[in-house]
Amino acid sequence: MKYTATVAGASILGFVGIITLHSSPSSTTVAATQTSTTHSSAPKSTNTGSNAAPTPTTVALTGVHSATGALENYGYGELGVTVTTNGSKITNIAVSTFKTIDQYSQGLEQQVVPILKGEAIKAQSARIAALTGATYTSEAYAYSLQSALDKLGIK
């Protein structure tokens, strides 16, 4: 029993570490991609010198926006999500693509995705814990969600 708890704890810590590394901010500025509005919120450079490093800019979105994250391949298929935001608040997450190699994985998705969606909306980020028994699905969901949030300029 102790061994199981240790393995489960290590798995969760490993997943959190991967998500943290995957979603750590870089020095590059990402332009906001908007699919449901006509207003542009692309960041503007404030550099004055020709050799100056780019200044990271935070994009403040207003209104409702949606973006589809990268299609993530994982051990049992492919998963992609579309996130909807109102300003910088996540209001909805929907699975846009889900292909599995077996019936079990398809049934698992129906149970796991609503839990992951609730956790992500509660956390207002892709930094969510993996669900035991659905680690690969959880990781693919989180990576695709972070990809969509990156497109919207939300960290």
Mean pLDDT of all residues in 69-78: 93
State the Cα–Cα distance between residues 13 and 7, nearest whole angstrom.
Answer: 10
> In percent, how much of the chain has pLDDT > 90?
46
Residue 67 lies in a domain: yes
pLDDT digits (tens, 9 = 90+) for 127-154: 999 999 899 999 999 999 999 999 999 9
Overall domain count for the chain: 1
Residue 78 lies in a domain: yes
Residue 54 has pLDDT above 70, yes or no: no
Residue 74 has pLDDT above 80, yes or no: yes
pLDDT digits (tens, 9 = 90+) for 78-107: 999 999 999 999 999 999 999 988 888 888
At residue 113, the pLDDT reads 94
State the Cα–Cα distance between residues 123 and 145, nearest whole angstrom.
Answer: 12
Residue 43 lies in a domain: no
Band of residue 117 on the pLDDT scale cut at 50, 70, 90? very high
Mean pLDDT of all residues in 41-50: 40
Beta pairing, strands 64-68 & 72-74 = unpaired
State the Cα–Cα distance between residues 77 and 141, nearest whole angstrom.
Answer: 12
Residue 102 lies in a domain: yes
Residue 46 lies in a domain: no
At residue 1, the pLDDT reads 52
Containing domain of residue 117, as a range?
A: 2-37+58-152
Residue 60 has pLDDT above 90, yes or no: no
State the Cα–Cα distance between residues 111 and 113, nearest whole angstrom.
Answer: 6
Residue 48 lies in a domain: no
At residue 107, the pLDDT reads 85
pLDDT digits (tens, 9 = 90+) for 2-42: 545 444 545 554 544 444 434 433 332 333 333 333 333 33
At residue 122, the pLDDT reads 97
90: CATH: 3.90.1010
